Amino acid sequence: MQTTLWFRPITEEAITNLYCRTLPRSLAIADLGCSSGPNTLFVVSELIKVVDKLRKKLGHDSLEYQVFLNDLPGNDFNTIFKSLASFQKQMSCQLGPGAGPCLFSGTPGSFYGRLFPSNSLHFVHSSYSLQWLSQVPEGLDNNKGNIYMASTSPPSVLRAYYEQFQKDFSVFLKCRAEELMVGGGMVLTFLGRRSEDPSSKECCYIWELLAMALNDMVSEGLIEEDKMDSFNIPQYTPSPSEVKSEVLKGGYFSIDRLEVSAVKWNDYDSEFNPSIAFSDDGYSVANCMRAVAEPLLVNQFGDAIIDEVFRRYRKIIADHISKEKTQFINVTISMKKSGHFII
């Protein structure tokens, strides 16, 4: 799945509006859940380019860009830091003479807590990170055979997941409201769903297929049943109305836009074509999911079984995508900090 390679019009609109409404002399941007890969600096660089083009067009002086890159402490910040010198050189070439400096800091820590000083940020961006919960919800004892919400999960499991999402997202909004300046902007993209059914196929099926691979291995005695029964993914893929409801409940932000979009499970830009999808043999989807799920699986089952899990998972995915068009759903919300919110 290509994620940050696409700079969303909604994000461009949000940073443009932010600049025009606040006209800052220096601009503080935070990217939350930045990860550490080839695309880590992509969104930040696009945000800076948009603002710099705009300030030139309006005949304004150059700005200092302060960028805060956040992720959990285990993230490979050193790799990002090592790439900064060449990135900054590239940025100054692209921005041209007279552009202000781009200054970077790493901010390790969970975004389900305070990360920055009060009123210090102009803009917060986060993509494909907020569907991760702060913990596996409590009360999932009766989710046997499943590893996430699934069509066979009892209502109590769906409720436990939703309550954890509400708790986490409300804390997130409160913390960001404290850190953003009045009028500051925030654009968040979740892996989510269109449906109001939290166990709908569009968000849960990818995990149900992984559960199939694991259950096969349980039945062959390769994985202990107890371990399978107590394994659950700490994720929640919300619907647009669930996201909106938490934002309105918090009262810290006004919503500018709330959009849903879709990305195909497999990376192809062409229209769905079963023969192309099948020729990939589930490889790209299984690989993408491996990057996400491997640390959780290793933690629960040890590393000896991992290659076999993903060999089976890839086969199950290939079989599925050869028969059915499959998509990940994105929920993106753009909002600004309300003026009446006083810390």
How many Å apart are CA 38 and CA 30, to the nearest integer?
Answer: 18
How many Å apart are CA 129 and CA 32, to the nearest integer?
Answer: 8
Q: Which is nearer to ligand SAM, 70 or 223 (CB)?
A: 70
Q: How far is CA 43 from the centre of its chain?
A: 13
- Asked if residue 217 lies in contact with residue 223, where contact means CB atoms within 8 angstroms, the answer is yes
Q: Which is nearer to ligand SAM, 110 or 153 (CB)?
A: 110
Q: Which is nearer to ligand SAM, 68 or 112 (CB)?
A: 112
Q: Which is nearer to ligand SAM, 222 or 296 (CB)?
A: 296
Partners of 260 in beta bridges: 331
Q: Which is nearer to ligand SAM, 37 or 101 (CB)?
A: 37
Place of tokens 């202990």: 224
The residue number whose beta carbon is nearest to ligand SAM equals: 33
Q: Is 39 in the site for ligand SAM (CB under 6 A)?
A: yes
Q: How many residues bind ligand SAM (CB under 6 A)?
A: 19
Q: Is 179 in the site for ligand SAM (CB under 6 A)?
A: no
Angle at which helices 77-95 and 42-57 cross, to 10°: 30
For residue 309, the minimal CB distance to ligand SAM (Å) is 19
How many Å apart are CA 110 and CA 176, to the nearest integer?
Answer: 12
Q: Is 35 in the site for ligand SAM (CB under 6 A)?
A: yes
Q: Which is nearer to ligand SAM, 63 or 164 (CB)?
A: 164
Using alpha carbons, select from 283, 145, 148, 322 the residue that is nearest to residue 217.
Answer: 145
Residue from 19, 77, 128, 301 in contact with ligand SAM (CB under 6 A):
128
For residue 189, the minimal CB distance to ligand SAM (Å) is 7
First-to-final CA distance of the chain:
39
Residue from 68, 111, 165, 313 in contact with ligand SAM (CB under 6 A):
111
Site residues (CB under 6 A) for ligand SAM, limited to 68-97: 70-72, 75
- Asked if residue 6 lies in contact with residue 127, where contact means CB atoms within 8 angstroms, the answer is no
What's the DSSP call for residue 237?
-
Sequence-distant (≥ 6) Cβ neighbours of residue 171 within 8 angstroms: 112, 113, 134
Site residues (CB under 6 A) for ligand SAM, limited to 133-172: 134
Q: Which is nearer to ligand SAM, 130 or 318 (CB)?
A: 130
The conformational region for residue 226 under phi > 0 = left, psi -120 to 50 = alpha, else beta, is alpha
Sequence-distant (≥ 6) Cβ neighbours of residue 10 within 8 angstroms: 187, 257, 259, 332, 334
Q: Is 334 in the site for ligand SAM (CB under 6 A)?
A: no
Residue from 11, 45, 66, 127 in contact with ligand SAM (CB under 6 A):
127
Q: Is 301 in the site for ligand SAM (CB under 6 A)?
A: no
Q: Which is nearer to ligand SAM, 112 or 253 (CB)?
A: 112
For residue 234, the minimal CB distance to ligand SAM (Å) is 9
Sequence-distant (≥ 6) Cβ neighbours of residue 145 within 8 angstroms: 152, 211, 215, 228, 229
Binding interface with ligand SAM (CB under 6 A):
3-4, 32-35, 39, 70-72, 75, 110-112, 127-129, 132, 134
